Amino acid sequence: MNSEIFLDNSSTTKPYDEVIDLMGYISKEVYGNPSSLHRKGIEAEREVKKSRQIISDSLRVNLNEIYFTSGGTESNNLAIMGYLYGNQRKGKHIITTSVEHPSVMEVYEYLKSTGYTVDYLNVDSNGMVNLDELKSKITNETALISIILVNNEVGAIQPINEIIKIKDSINKNTVIHVDAVQAFGKIDIFPKSAGIDMMSMSSHKIHGPKGVGALYVNKSIKLNSMILGGGQESLLRSGTENVPGICGFGKAAEITFSKLKENYKLVEALKNTLVKELNNNIEDYRIISPDESIPYILNIAFGGIKSEVLLHHLEEKNIYISTGSACSSRKKIHSRVLKAMGIPPKYIDGAIRISFSSYNTEEQIITTVNSLKEILPRIRKTSAQRSCK
């Protein structure tokens, strides 16, 4: 069997060995409840604080502005609903984009049913929001704007600094939430200096464990708790802390941020190699990701095929890619993001997402393109024969 080639790193990443080792140690030795007052509890609390410090330092924010959650989805839900429910006099108008992750889109759809007015900003063919439209939508009643910083399907990077400037010029009281799940650990983000009020992050996107995330909340922002109980996480998020997971998240962040620029250059080179090899070897394809997208994500569409069919052919060769967002891939619908970008159905049907990590190599990329060169004509021939029957 061929060695594994994992190119679905936007859905999850392979944990660092150091993360696995630390989590094993914490589970075995530091098993106390962080809320307990005895030594074992204090040891666990100390480890949680250490991870909170690592993440707050990476963002240049205060220690007490980081709250641990079960992942990016909970962080997004907590930020949006926690703010709106805790600040109901701030207004009943909210804004987001047409290309958000389901954990934002579905929350906004729910809020519409409870009396909020929602505006979804359009995007251009590069997946970028229309800033003039944003300017026209903000009013005195706009309580919250939620924006995905790096799109999880195509890698488009939204101009968050310009968005915040526009917001401040019209309504400084409007709060900005940023979904940074695909950006955290890949590019520098300093939310406090940027004017971001709340920001969501996830552990398993940066080689940490699944089931752990974090939410940055500026100390000036009031949130309602969405989970009631023992009052953990400074009364915001009740429930006994997942100490091994939090420590694994901290270790993953420590390693990732120590080589942030090194990893970026490595992945950028891999993406460039993939584009070059595609140009030299593959016919009838289209790169959907914009030129200025983050190099970690490359969305490619092939004419004359179904992406699910291609995915399984590659899987037989131990090559793992995605047809889009892992959180919506089980729903038998076309990509909402690609539709919003105006991509023709012919290419939406054949769109795949290749997402890189520092574990990938140039050899793996060349092997993948060679496999595509072999597989695509076979799939297209079969599809053509079926259409003729």
DSSP conformational letter for 59:
H
Which residues are known catalytic residues?
A: 327
Per DSSP bridges, beta strands 297-302 and 117-121 are: unpaired
| Residue the block writes with tokens 């204090």 | 42
Q: How much is the CA Rg of the chain, to the nearest whole Å?
A: 22
Cβ atoms of 82 and 226 within 8 Å: the answer is yes
Per DSSP bridges, beta strands 93-97 and 66-69 are: unpaired
Cβ atoms of 214 and 64 within 8 Å: the answer is no
| Residue the block writes with tokens 């926690």 | 82
DSSP alpha helix (H) spans, the chain: 17-29, 39-59, 72-86, 102-112, 131-137, 160-170, 191-194, 243-258, 260-281, 307-316, 336-340, 345-348, 362-388
Instruction: Return the closest-CA partner of residue 166 out of 203, 136, 207, 200.
Output: 136
Cβ atoms of 69 and 214 within 8 Å: the answer is yes
Return the structure tokens found at 232: 């953990």
